[in-house]
Every structure is written in structure tokens, then in C-alpha cells.
A and B are shown apart, each in its own frame.
Chain A
């Protein structure tokens, strides 16, 4: 297995170079270093000299990919792409365009992101699996039909509606919890309840329908029929046989997103003023801070690759028939 993981990690290097190159290309297709300088320096009384100075200080006065003014390997190394990218592979994210330490910011903002993402994931899993099992158990009955209709209805509502509706209903109308905000330590809990509820409720429709289909697929298999034929109690059939086998696709689906939980939620963090990595990324895009955008895309890619490797490993854990070689 170790050799497999090492091999997969090695495959990741060209992928990451490609992602980095693509991020670089897309960013600079839309923005030139002059644009970035102008945005950072403001709109009033910005002189061309100030723009040149800003670029020179941050190394944006060099050619993007190929430097004709120098010779040898420096033609590639004395470029914005090389100088801004090579350190990423050592996870040295450097400084944002306004001089802040990106690693420090990421470390700080990771906590609020996880504070929403982990409870949302765990509570969501519990509710979605329970609901899906309930529907599977009562398949074909009014409970199942009503449940599926409810799921489709929940899926049809946009995330924005959940957020604004949730803030209005629970925060403003019923005044049960703060509308938005964040605080450190234990005080954060009261601010996290509403985004977690909204995160969970907005995911019920799609996840429950998906998990229900997993359960129904397993329920029709021979080993379930055999278990029932043996006279096992329904609860044992459900939890020992059905759930265990249906959990294989559920677990793999969850494992792949686990590392991405660090990246935070763009919408929830923005509307609830939670200072996580999702809003960090959005802010960086709005401020045209290439250093942060490139770091966050790189980090996201690394985490996604880790997620995929973890899925492969998870397969071997939950399904003994699978072997990594």
C-alpha cells in the first residue's frame, strides 16, 4: 500500500504543476500586473511611477513566462511564473500582495472554516443516513413518497434562500440565535449554530436521495434476503447488513471531501461573516491578490489529491475484497 501511495503522490506533481500553470494563465489573462497595482493603490491620485514601484517591489515587473532580456536558464527562472510558483511546492506560500504572511492567515482562518464544516458534516451525515434508511425501510409507502417529494423540494431551493430565509426566520423573527457574526473560543458556538443548521438543511435533499438509492440497491441483494430468511430481526438486518454495505459508497464519498473541509464554504462564510478560508479566497479574488489566489488554489488541489488517495485507502478498509497494488 505504501508503494501505491508514494506512486500516487508522485503522480500528483505534474498535476499540481498543471494546476499552477492554469491558475497563473487564467489569472493573468484577466488581470495584468498593472491592473493589480491600480487596484491595490486605489483610484485617486495614482501615478504611473507609483504603479511601476508597486510592481517592482513585488516582482511583477518581470515577464510572465519567458524573459528574453537574460540568457540561459534565467530566461525561465527570472519570470513571474517561476518566482511565484516554485516555493509553493515547498508549501512556502510567501506573502500576500499587501505584505501579509499567507501561511499565518491560513492557519488562523482554518479554525472557523472547520468549526462550521465539521459539525455540518457530522450532523448532516447522521440526519441524512437516518432519513434515507427510514425512506428505504418504508419504500413504496406514503412515508417514502412524501419523503422523496420533500427531498426534491429541498433540492430545488437555492442555497441563498436557505441562508437569507434562515437568518430571517431563526435570527430575526424568532430571535433564537444571532443573525451573523463570529467570536473566539466557546463564544463562537452561539454564532455557529445557525450556519450549521442551514448547512445541514440545505444538504438534506440531495444527500438523502442519494443515500436512499444506495440503501435500496443493497436491500434488493441476496445477502439481505438471506439474512431475513435466517430470521434475523429487521433492526439487525438494517444496521448490521444493509447499513454496513451501503456505507461503502457513502464513506468513500465523504472521505474525498474531508480534506476540502479546510477550504471552507464561500457563501456561508460570507453571509455569516465567518472569517474562514472560503471568504479569504473570495476576498483575494475581489482584491486581485494573486499571491493568495495561487496559494489557495494550490492548497485546494493538494487537498483534493489527498482526498482521492484517502478514498483508495478507505476502499481497502471498508471492502476487504479491494487490494491496492
Chain B
């Protein structure tokens, strides 16, 4: 299979890899205990290396066992025992290589011994060993490693028992280790126990959490909780390894279906089938329609289907798109530049592939992203912020005036749906149809919900104290500031559009452009007034969206993810209740109340949830957008014979223009040569040159 990467991933160490361009690799290599079912919707967790999805045991303050339905406030500890399948083995790796006597071959190296070794493939021998529960515990401890930067350490130290203190322990140990010139820079975490993660037996480990945190299960499906063998960390800690760019951050060691054999981010990264893969089969069940879509043809067959995946560096969209059309890439997204070439939009807004695409047998896959793109108000700002009725009405008026439907139509080619609140479709709590409509922005009509008129927005603005866009007390025009990093020429049209939206209410919008870092600084200090921001779900739970407006997440006060610095006591109370509830009618009820509060307060102009469009060639099978699973590669199948035949058919060189060029050149050269000869034969004349 052929794919590409636009810029190299920063981290392939599972304790640090978080961005989508990182987990697209680590997700195929590392195996956390759980994974998402590839086909089922709503998204469901299923075991990966675990034998079952673990269920928590609740304990009281004195360690007594509590019933399953205990109220969260009664629970002091949640304990998860995770059993993993025996017999799973790591990919071949030099860290496990042993000599005939069973002694490690490459665990006692120095710079001299490394010689000409500059890549992992340069080591002659490799080995493997069985995955054990201790490897999972080792990785959980690595979240607190003083030399690593796990983005979830802060979050997890709030829950995993003793993790915060463990970081201090490791920091002190590391300092002592450095002073005493310990074992070549290797800090053996096995020597430092962690209360919140312990090995029960060879195939069982335990995670102990403070209070309740049901969302832990989702984290257990991410590479942060994948196993890391201590041998690998020791191997990479040896002198000279870092200097040669041989690190765990560069060469992952996993048990997954693929292993990274080439990591040259200047050019190419190659994933190859892991010969030690424990085996897994394609799901036999999906959601209705999957069988008809051919997604169950491979049910029960061994995974993975593809032997080798080559990712090439491709920095620009235009060459990528051209090469996709030539068949040199198997899948492609659709940029705005290529949208018209790929998609035709019908009169009622329905999308379909253009004839050109259909002739090539290209298929279209769409899905609404579990993402938010919104315009936020800084609630600490004296003009647009605050919780007075006047401030609310100002924000509601602006929410009506900014025509998101128009934005989606103009700038996204229709690839998005207007958001009614922070919850996108596919996430529990999202309400379909009229029930989910924001009543402060839309009104019910016979043809369905319609954005409220500008007259209503103007009325709200007047009630907010700005009749016709002027301050009722001073008579001065209302001037609002929009902070953005979008300052390039491509962004001008969008900014002009936004300016016009505010101008509908006679409000002057001042665009304050700054680079990303200045923008971040403004957000941290709370000096921005209106801004645009986005969020991509970590996991399919409403908590992962609604926490974006939780008071304890305020950007200014807590450096959290609540960029609007919104704080509503009732909302916060409901949030704390909702996050521990299982999905069901009661949770939906709580969420509905939270939505009503948010829509009334309007801390965001809710913006839109983008739609993902992706194209696949006819030889590419089993493609189904799964926005949560990061290990979907193993389910994909291609038909290389068909691809080769079509590539040859589509890419026959056209050579006649070369002949034509040659003729043109001759047509120029021959007269020139004749002229030269003519001049050479002319007799000399007075005054000639």
C-alpha cells in the first residue's frame, strides 16, 4: 500500500505520541489492552490484548468493597484488573537479541561497539519475547518519567493513585542516578513501585484510581497505555544511541500487526507485517448496511491483509492529488483546490462523485468528524463576556448574525454541519432533528429549523444596550476585536466574510492578526476578546467535549482547555455528575440540561462539525471511516494486481510532443546554421561587422 506523510511525526514513543500524524504509526505498532470495534456504531470498546473489557471494582475510604451502582461521591478508589492474553510476542528487535547462552547481545554496548550502526536495521541479530503484564505497568510508570513529556501525565496524576508523587520519586532517583553515573543513563522503573499500577501475575495487572473515572477505558485504547518492554528502554539508553538517532522515539517496539522497518522521515517510512503478530480476525459483525457495502466480505479472515505500507514524504497537495489520480496513492483526501474536480453537488445539496472519478472507479467515503470548530467569546472580557442578561443577548445576537450555513457552503464546499452545541453526531448526548436545535439561534418553521432573522438579532442587540450597533450610553459604535492566527493571503476571504457578518448588525470587527505563539499568549493571559478554536475528540464520550466549558478547565485560571474561560456553577455541578454516569436516559437528561444552559449563555458561536471526505481507488477494500480507532490499517485490503494493471493503463507516456519539440528545434537550428554558413562565405565588405 502506498501512502504519504506531509511532515515527520515528532514522537513515536507511545508515552508521548498524541497527534494524528503520530498515532497513525504508533497505532499500528503498539497494542494497548483495548481497541474500538472497527465496524460497529456507536463506537464500542472491545478487547485487543486484554481478555475482556475490564470492569471497575469500587472501594470505600477504608478499602471496603462497594456495590457497582455506588454514587461516585461514595467511591474512594476504583480498581481495574486487566488480564492479557498469553502467548503474544514482540516484533523482532535487537533489544531482545541473545547469544547461544541466553545472554543479551546488545544490552552492554558503548559508542565504539556501535561502529557503523546508524539505524536499527544495522544490527545483525534480533530477538523477541512474550508480552507480560509487567510491560503495561512499566509503560504506566513511564508517564511520570522525568525525561519524557507525556501530555496526559497531568490528567492521569489526578486519577492514578500515587502517580503525581511518583514523578517526584523518579526525579530524585534520576538526579541520584546521574550523580553516581548509574547504569548508562537507564533508570530502571521496575525498581520503583507505583501504588496505582501493579503486577498481579504474569498476565494480570491492576490500575487503581482515585474516585471514579469511567473514561479510563477509552484511554486504555490509546498508545499511552500500550506495553513497553524494559529491555527496549535499556537498549536505547546506551551511550551513542541518542547521538545516532536510535531512540525509542524513533524506532518503536511493539506487538502489533506492523513494525516500522524504515524510518527516514526525510523521505520514507515503511511499515512491514510483524512476523510475530499474535493473530486476529476481521470482525464478523457490523452495523446495518455494512454487509451490503461489502464490508463483511472478509469476515473471519486473518489480519492484517497488507504486507507492506510505504509512506512517502509528500509536502504539497497538488502533486499528491495528481499522483492519486495516476494510481500511485491508494487513498486521498479532497482539498478545496480539487473539490470541483472530484465532487459534484446537486441542487438540494447532495454530494456525488464527478463522472471523471466514477470512470476511474474511485469511491467516496464520508463521515462527520467528532470535532468542533467554534468562535469563542472570552467570558472574562468586560464587553462580550460576563453573565448579565445584556451580555448574553449580545452573544446571542452575534450567534444569529454569523451565518454558519453560508460559511460551510462558501468555504467548505458544504463539508460540514452547523453545530447546535459542543456535541457532534456520533457522541452520546447528541440529539437528532428538532430536539437538538439551538432555540436561541434557530426557529422552527414548516420546512424545518431556520436561522433566526437579523431583525431578531438587532432586537437582541438593542436589548443588550447597543441599538443599531451603538452603545446606548455613549453613542459610540460597538467595536469588537477578533484575534486570529489566520493572517495569510488565503485567509483574507474568510476574514472579510466574518467582518461582514458582524457588519450586518453595524458592529465593527477589528481583526487582530498574530502568529500562533502570540495568540497562545493572549489566550493564556485572557486578553483576547473573540477567537476561533477547535477540538478533536480523544474518545467518544460527551465528557471529552463538555469539559471544554468546565470551570475547572479555565484557560486563564487553570491553563486548561476551556479557552472561553466559561464558568457556570450549575453547569459545573451537572458536568461533575454527568461524567461518572453510564450512557442512558438519565445521563441524556443531565446532558440536555447542560445544553440548555450553554445555549442560553452562548459562550461560543457553536460553529460547525466538519465532514470528512475521502476517496479510495477500486482496488482498495474495507474502507470505513472510523474516527476513533487508530489501528484501522490492519483491516484494509488491496488488490495489487488490479492496481498494477490500472496504473499501467492510466500512465502510458505520451511521447509525440517530444518529437514535435525536436522538429521545432530543427526548424530553428537549420535556418540559423544556413545563415551562419552564408555569412561565413560572404566576402569582407568595408564597414561590415
Contacts and interface: CB of A to CB of B under 8 A. Distances in A.
Given A39-B516, A104-B118, A171-B322, A57 B147 contact: yes
A38 B322 contact: no
B267 A175 contact: no
Interface string B245-266: 1010100000000000000101
Contact of B319 (A42, A100, A108, A167): A167
Contacts of B267: 182-184, 273, 275
B146 to A, nearest CB: 8
Contacts of B315: 270-271, 273, 279
B657 A35 contact: no
Contacts of A69: none
A108 B266 contact: yes
B18 A44 contact: yes
11 contacts: A99-B242, A101-B243, A104-B244, A168-B322, A174-B655, A179-B326, A180-B319, A271-B319, A272-B319, A275-B313, A280-B266
A132 B538 CA distance: 62
Contacts of B154: 45, 47, 49-50
A42 B19 contact: yes
Contacts of A164: 318
Contacts of B112: none
Interface in B312-331: 312-316, 318-319, 322-323, 325-326
Given A57-B147, A172-B322, 20 more contacts: A35-B516, A39-B517, A45-B18, A53-B146, A99-B249, A100-B245, A104-B245, A141-B675, A175-B651, A175-B654, A176-B658, A178-B323, A180-B314, A180-B316, A181-B314, A182-B267, A182-B313, A184-B267, A271-B318, A279-B315
A46 interface: yes
Contacts of A176: 653-655, 658
Contact of B326 (A46, A172, A275): A172
Contacts of B121: none
A137 B680 CA distance: 12
Given A30-B515, A40-B10, A179 B244 contact: no
A109 interface: yes
Nearest to A31: B517
Interface of A: 30-32, 34-35, 38-42, 44-50, 53-54, 57, 98-101, 104-105, 108-109, 134, 137-138, 141, 143, 164, 167-168, 171-176, 178-184, 233-234, 270-273, 275, 279-280, 283, 286
Contacts of B19: 42
B314 A35 contact: no
B152, B315, B516, most chain A CB atoms within 10 A: B315
Interface residues of B, number: 53
B319 A273 contact: yes
Contacts of B323: 178-181
B41 interface: no
A35 B520 contact: yes
A134 B675 CA distance: 12
Contact of A47 (B314, B318, B559, B672): B559
Nearest to A183: B267
Contacts of B517: 31-32, 34-35, 38-39
A175 B561 contact: no
A42 B322 contact: no
B520 A45 contact: no
A175 B652 contact: yes
B559 A48 contact: yes
A182 B268 CA distance: 9
A181 B311 CA distance: 11
B443 interface: no
A41 B10 CA distance: 9
B535 to A, nearest CB: 8
Contacts of A53: 146, 149
Contacts of B680: 233-234
